Structure formats: structure tokens, C-alpha cells
């Protein structure tokens, strides 16, 4: 018998707005990636517990100054939002809206793990869409509070001329701060089901999952609260997501929960049906741990170490760039076994530096280290490791106007980036390290440097990490190099080594 113990969260890292399907015995998931590129990561699993990145829907979404982080603003908190993943007649579909582009995108492929995705663009926003294939017709459900239905062509590539394009239903207003959004749509056993997240402004004031159902596509719809539980975590509700069944006939909801600075983490919860309504847990209480009739498997790491031993300039799937990269200015082959980041434009902080290479942070605690060769950096250059969100913190090398080199810890504050401490260094290489503490939402990062990688010195101060909506993303670990005076200098990173902090 297949048995696996599932403990929530199944991924203690920022994988928000999850959309999960099953094809055969394999589960696939897409999630929001906003300004990170490549975007819309596709993950797969055999048991809803262990997930592996296998593909991305796109390398870059658009090519303009904002997406290239050249306009002084970027697309932080924008880009791809709340994608919907579906499988129909041998094709995989992903759709989402982009607030900065005011567009609705549909991508499709026959090979979700290795294929290239065919892209269609429809002007106008369809907020947090849910794609539904229903008897040779295709619909997108979307909106915040006022939920609309939009009919697409059979290939989901365009609006259906003369099709259904109307307001479908108006969700609750009384005592609700954030009205229903994040739709997931299904047709099961003669019912249409629409799942949403909402955020009450009264009572316990935490996010909750609700479901609407109707025998008819256009309603009327009945409503129930499906889950109002925080799994014992600081009154942070578990919500926004959909449902999926297993080969054994079990049903599960895959939702997310806010976990402070690490981001929004996926949770899997057992589901059963009562009189045609999906019900999670017992008496409104969801289990943090349970046994599922699914095969156990070995975990595949979401965040990896990397020695940068590549034969071509194609990085492991775990890496994402902060906005569109300039592919002329990075290399893992120019100096074999090293990542080279060359400056190409002037920036005033790491937040607006191109070619910052990132991975997620993970709870409950983690640590990342690197070795930086700063021989070829120029005056005004700054390179190193960053704990990246709007309230970022860095440890790295700065080159002064007179060519003097020093290791510095900096942090972004209410008055902008501030250098907290600097120490003059000699030689040409430096070891750098950041430790992250997310235990019970402590949300603290500590910064270190070393001349030999064994005797570490703490520098600056602890960074109190804050999840802010301008980035709308959990903290990421990044390798960066930017110029504040002149382009053309470069920094070499020998490796990126990641682990769980002790």
C-alpha cells in the first residue's frame, strides 16, 4: 500500500498562488513569479509532498525598459500573477494577467516538462483567472469581488466572438476587507465549483477559503466557507488555491499561507465531500500532518548549491534573474567554474541592478555562502550577496573612488540604502555569508565575511526582514554586481553554497 506522511507546509518557501493538476499519476503545479525570470515555474510531484522544478513557461515575458529594470522602477510586484494551469485533450495550458502590461496571456504546450510554450496575448486584464474547459467551450473566470466570465476560442488563444462576456456574480461585501479573488474553477458531478480567497475585516480577521457552486454555468450560485483555520500559525489563514484528486480517489486542497518574510508557503490538506460540498478537516480544523495514500519519494531540493561547472551558459532551473537579464553580461564559461557578472549600466542600489541572480530562501532557517574575486571591479562598483526584498541587506565588496577596497554591510531603510559598517580589505578574494532565521517569523538575517572561509567575522547588524507588497515576494538570496560610476568592471563568484543553518 502507498503511504506517505504529509506535513505542512509542504514547501517552506515562497511558492504562492499555486495551481495544481494531475495527469496520470503525476501532479503538476504552477505558481506566481512576478518579476523573476524565467517565469511561471512548473513543478512536478508524485505525492503532493516533494516537488521538483522541471520547466518554466517563459524565459522573459516582455522586453521593455521596465522589464529590463532600466526605468528606475521595474516591475516589482507586477509581471505574472496567479496563473491557472489546466490540461485538456493532450495540451497543457497556463493563463495569467500582467498588471503592468494590462494584458491577459495564454500559453500552451504538449510537453509540460521539456517543451516550448506557444504564447497568445489578449488585451485587458482578467484578474486572478481560472481556466475551465467545458464541453468544447472554454471560459476564464476572473475578478475581485465582482466575478466575471469571459469565453475564449476553442484553442484559448483569443476572445470568442459573440461568446459569453458578462458579470457572473457579486461576492460578499459585508464585513469583508478583501473580497473574493484567486479563482479556481471546476466542473464535477454536475456542479460548477468556484473557489476563492477572501479576507474578513471583522471577527478573527484572517484569510479564508470559500466555495461557490451551481448546477448552471451562469448561476445562481450558492456559497459556503470551506476553510477558516491558521494551522496554529499567528492567525495567518490558509487559503487561495484549488483541489485535486489522486489515482486512489482521495481529494486534497492545495492552498498557501503567509509565513512572514520567507513568503507565501504551499499547504496540502485532505478534503472530503458532504452532500456535494467540499469539506476540509473536521469541525473546521485542518490537520498539520496526516497520512496520504500516495507513494513516498526522495525529496529534490528547491534551493541548490552550485559550483558553476557548466559547459554552456545555461544555468540550473533553480536560479532566476531579478527582472530580465542582459545575457551579454554574465557567463559561467568565460572563467570555467566561476560565475562572472559584468556591469553594463549605472545603478544606485542592488534593488535596481541588472543580472542579480537569485534563489528562494527557506524556513525554518538557511545559510548561503560564496567566494568573490574582486580583482577586476572598478571604482564605484559593489558586488556580493544580498538578502533581496525592498528592505534588502547586503554583504560584499565596494570599491572606493581612490581604488581602496573594503567589505561592507548595507541595508535599505526608510531614508534609503545605508552602509552600516565597512572594513578595509587586502588581497583579491573574500568569503561572504548570510544566515536567515525564519523560526516563528523571527525574520532576521545576519551577515559575515572571512578571509579563509573558516574564521568568520560578523559585520554590520541584523536585518529585520519585512515582507512588503511593493515586491510582493518572499526574501531571495542573490549574487550581484553593479556599477555606480562606470560600466565594464566584473566580479567572479567561485561557487554558491547553500544549506540549513544550525
Active-site residue identified among 181, 362, 381, 492: 181
Which residue, of 252, 275, 292, is where some domain finishes?
292
pLDDT at 1: 56
- CA dist 362 and 447 (Å) reads 17
**Residue 312 placed within a domain:** no
Active-site residue identified among 14, 17, 198, 435: 17
pLDDT at 315: 98
User: With 80 as the cut, is the pLDDT of residue 502 above it?
Assistant: no
Given pLDDT bands bounded at 50, 70 and 90, which one contains residue 285?
A: confident
Cell of 417: 540604502
Q: Which residues constitute the domain of residue 143?
A: 4-292
**Residue 300 placed within a domain:** no
pLDDT at 281: 83
Instruction: Give yes or no for a contact between 76 and 391, defined as CB atoms under 8 angstroms apart.
Output: no
pLDDT at 331: 98
Residues 215 and 76 in one domain: yes
Instruction: Give yes or no for a contact between 394 and 384, defined as CB atoms under 8 angstroms apart.
Output: yes
- pLDDT tens readout for residues 200-238: 999 999 999 999 999 999 999 999 999 999 999 999 999
- pLDDT tens readout for residues 101-143: 999 999 999 999 999 999 999 999 999 999 999 999 999 999 9
- CA dist 173 and 171 (Å) reads 7
- pLDDT tens readout for residues 67-102: 999 999 999 999 999 999 999 999 999 999 999 999
Residues 265 and 337 in one domain: no
Give 16's strand partners. Answer: none
Residues 327 and 276 in one domain: no
Residues 277 and 333 in one domain: no
Q: What is the mean pLDDT of residues 325-335?
A: 98
Given pLDDT bands bounded at 50, 70 and 90, which one contains residue 416?
A: confident
Cα 274–chain centre separation: 34
**Residue 298 placed within a domain:** no
Given pLDDT bands bounded at 50, 70 and 90, which one contains residue 448?
A: very high
DSSP state of 351: G
Instruction: Give yes or no for a contact between 347 and 484, defined as CB atoms under 8 angstroms apart.
Output: yes
388: left (phi over 0), alpha (psi -120 to 50) or beta: beta
Q: What is the mean pLDDT of residues 308-324?
A: 98
Residues 214 and 361 in one domain: no
Q: Residue 197: enclosing H or E segment and its boundaries?
A: strand 191-200
Residues 172 and 43 in one domain: yes
Q: What is the mean pLDDT of residues 131-157?
A: 97
Cell of 20: 495544481
Residues 186 and 90 in one domain: yes
Residues 339 and 265 in one domain: no
Cell of 107: 500559453
181 assigned to active site: yes
Q: What count of residues does the chain have? A: 502
Phi and psi for 444 in degrees, rounded to 5?
-120, 140
- CA dist 502 and 500 (Å) reads 6
Residues 377 and 481 in one domain: yes
**Residue 274 placed within a domain:** yes
Residues 17 and 152 in one domain: yes
Residues 366 and 233 in one domain: no
**Residue 233 placed within a domain:** yes
Q: What is the mean pLDDT of residues 356-363?
A: 98
CATH number of the domain that residue 154 is part of = 2.115.10.20
What percentage of residues in the chain have a pLDDT greater than 90? 97
**Residue 314 placed within a domain:** no
Buried b (16+ CB within 10 A) or exposed e, 3-36: ebebebbbbbbbbbbbbbbbeeeebbbbbbbbbb
Cell of 480: 550581484
Q: What is the mean pLDDT of the chain?
A: 97
SS3 annotation, 24-87: CCEEEEECCCECEECEEEEEEECCCCCCEEEEEEECCCCCCCCCCCCCCCCCCCCCEEEEEEEE
Cell of 430: 573574500
- CA dist 34 and 61 (Å) reads 10
**Residue 377 placed within a domain:** yes
Cell of 118: 506557444
**Based on the structure, what is the number of domains in the chain?**
2
- pLDDT tens readout for residues 367-376: 999 999 999 9
Given pLDDT bands bounded at 50, 70 and 90, which one contains residue 36?
A: very high
Residue holding cell 507565501?
264
Residues 256 and 338 in one domain: no
User: With 70 as the cut, is the pLDDT of residue 443 above it?
Assistant: yes
428: left (phi over 0), alpha (psi -120 to 50) or beta: alpha
Instruction: Give yes or no for a contact between 471 and 408, defined as CB atoms under 8 angstroms apart.
Output: no
Q: What is the mean pLDDT of residues 150-174?
A: 98
59 assigned to active site: no
CATH number of the domain that residue 441 is part of = 2.60.120.200
**Residue 107 placed within a domain:** yes
Amino acid at each position: 500500500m502507498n503511504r506517505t506522511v504529509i506535513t505542512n507546509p509542504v514547501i517552506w518557501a515562497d511558492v504562492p498562488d499555486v495551481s495544481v493538476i494531475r495527469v496520470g499519476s503525476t501532479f503538476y503545479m504552477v505558481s506566481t513569479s512576478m518579476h523573476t525570470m524565467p517565469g511561471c515555474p512548473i513543478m512536478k510531484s508524485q505525492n503532493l509532498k516533494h516537488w521538483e522544478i522541471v520547466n518554466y513557461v517563459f524565459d522573459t515575458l516582455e522586453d521593455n525598459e521596465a522589464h529590463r529594470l532600466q526605468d528606475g522602477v521595474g516591475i516589482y510586484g507586477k509581471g505574472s500573477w496567479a496563473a491557472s494551469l489546466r490540461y485538456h485533450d493532450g495540451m497543457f495550458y497556463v493563463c495569467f494577467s500582467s498588471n503592468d502590461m494590462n494584458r491577459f496571456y495564454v500559453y500552451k504546450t504538449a510537453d509540460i516538462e521539456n517543451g516550448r510554450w506557444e504564447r497568445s496575448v489578449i488585451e485587458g486584464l482578467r484578474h486572478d483567472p481560472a481556466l475551465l474547459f467545458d464541453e468544447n467551450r472554454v471560459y476564464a473566470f476572473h475578478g475581485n469581488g465582482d466575478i466575471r466570465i469571459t469565453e475564449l476560442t476553442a484553442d484559448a488563444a483569443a476572445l470568442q466572438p459573440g461568446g459569453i462576456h458578462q458579470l457572473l456574480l457579486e461576492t460578499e461585501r459585508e464585513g469583508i476587507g478583501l473580497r473574493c479573488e484567486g479563482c479556481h474553477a471546476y466542473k464535477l458531478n454536475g456542479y460548477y465549483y468556484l473557489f476563492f480567497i477572501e479576507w474578513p475585516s471583522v471577527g478573527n480577521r484572517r484569510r479564508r477559503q470559500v466555495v461557490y457552486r451551481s448546477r448552471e454555468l451562469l448561476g445562481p450560485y450558492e456559497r459556503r466557507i470551506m476553510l477558516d483555520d491558521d494551522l496554529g500559525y499567528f492567525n495567518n489563514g490558509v487559503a487561495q488555491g484549488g483541489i485535486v484528486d489522486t489515482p486512489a480517489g482521495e481529494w486534497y486542497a492545495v492552498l498557501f499561507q503567509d509565513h512572514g518574510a520567507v513568503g507565501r508557503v504551499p499547504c496540502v490538506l485532505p478534503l472530503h465531500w458532504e452532500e456535494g460540498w467540499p469539506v476540509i478537516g473536521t469541525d473546521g480544523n485542518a490537520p498539520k500532518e496526516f497520512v496520504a495514500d500516495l507513494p513516498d519519494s526522495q525529496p529534490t531540493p528547491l534551493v541548490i548549491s552550485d559550483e558553476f561547472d557548466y559547459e554552456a551558459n545555461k544555468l540550473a532551473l533553480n536560479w532566476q534573474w531579478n527582472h530580465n537579464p542582459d545575457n551579454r553580461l554574465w557567463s559561467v564559461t568565460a572563467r570555467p567554474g566561476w560565475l562572472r557578472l559584468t556591469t553594463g549600466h549605472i545603478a544606485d542600489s542592488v534593488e535596481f541592478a541588472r543580472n542579480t541572480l537569485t534563489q528562494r530562501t527557506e524556513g525554518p532557517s538557511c545559510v548561503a555562502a560564496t567566494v568573490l574575486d574582486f580583482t577586476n571591479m572598478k571604482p564605484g562598483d559593489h558586488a556580493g550577496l544580498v538578502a533581496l526584498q525592498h528592505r534588502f541587506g547586503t554583504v560584499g565588496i565596494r570599491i572606493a573612488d581612490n581604488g581602496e577596497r573594503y567589505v561592507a554591510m548595507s541595508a535599505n531603510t526608510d531614508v534609503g540604502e545605508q552602509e552600516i559598517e565597512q572594513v578595509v580589505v587586502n588581497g583579491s578574494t573574500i568569503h561572504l555569508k548570510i544566515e536567515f532565521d525564519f523560526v516563528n517569523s523571527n525574520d532576521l538575517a545576519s551577515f559575515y565575511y572571512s578571509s579563509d572561509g573558516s574564521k568568520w567575522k560578523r559585520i554590520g547588524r541584523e536585518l529585520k526582514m519585512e515582507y512588503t507588497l511593493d515586491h510582493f515576494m518572499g526574501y531571495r538570496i542573490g549574487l550581484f554586481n553593479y556599477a555606480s560610476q562606470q560600466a565594464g568592471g566584473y566580479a567572479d563568484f567561485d561557487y554558491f553554497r547553500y544549506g540549513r543553518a544550525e
